[in-house]
Amino acid sequence: MNAPFLIIETGSPVAPLRRHRGFGHWIRVAAGLRGHEAASCHVEQGEALPTAEGWAGVIVSGSSAMVSERLAWSERTADWLRRAHEQGVPLLGICYGHQLIAHAFGGRVDYHPAGREMGTVEMTPLEAASQDPLMRGLPQRFRAQMSHLQSVIEPPPGAVLLARSEHEPHGAFRLGGQTWGVQFHPEFSAGHMRGYILARQPALVQEGRSPAAMLQGVSAAPIARRVLRRFCAHARGAGSQRPG
């Protein structure tokens, strides 16, 4: 039997969307994994992380927390991710997870100087993407769902930048051969994205944004989801080559 994936849940969906379960479920379904092929650990709620050994790969979710707050559970998770990376465990960070991996390896995370990025946005793969297991062969532009206030302001040393949006220059990166971060949410459907915009309406209006226009701009993002599924396929292949 294939080893399962570990999904590290660093937060929960906005309240109106919790009827659709948590990030662990959203990620598992979007990744095409069956129930027995993934396990979740909700570190924000105090669950202790298991050993890094024995997992096909690890996916770190988004969160409403901020990496720059350096909360105790977040810093413990960053330490765990460094050890897992050293052991060659494939890692993928999504949104907060992307930022947490950057922070764990010496990058700088803080509030984006231009403010919030939210909605369905266009991502542009960079030159290095053509040689990347998750990004190669993607269209010159592809849609992705975004919802973040903080960003990777300075990537960690040695990071290979893979994609950007107009707002976010560090939209995806790889460290070594088995660790990735993506600022976008490959697990979000168009319905999830609309739910987030609706939940953030008061803040968006206060920021001078138009929730109605943002809702109108939401569309499906199948290429972004493909990146998540490619990670799982790559991790399965990498796992078959690890000793043990």
Active site residues: 95, 185, 187
Beta bridge partners of residue 117, listed in sequence order: 148
Q: In the chain, how many H helices and how many E strands?
A: 7, 11
Closest CA to 69 of 100, 101, 45: 100
Residue 67 structure tokens: 């990496």
Residues near 238 by beta carbon (within 8 Å), at least 6 away in sequence = 57, 88, 90, 178
Tokens 């996916």, residue?
Answer: 59
Angle of CA points 196, 41, 159, to nearest 5°? 75
Q: Report d(CA 242, CA 107) in Å as an integer.
A: 28
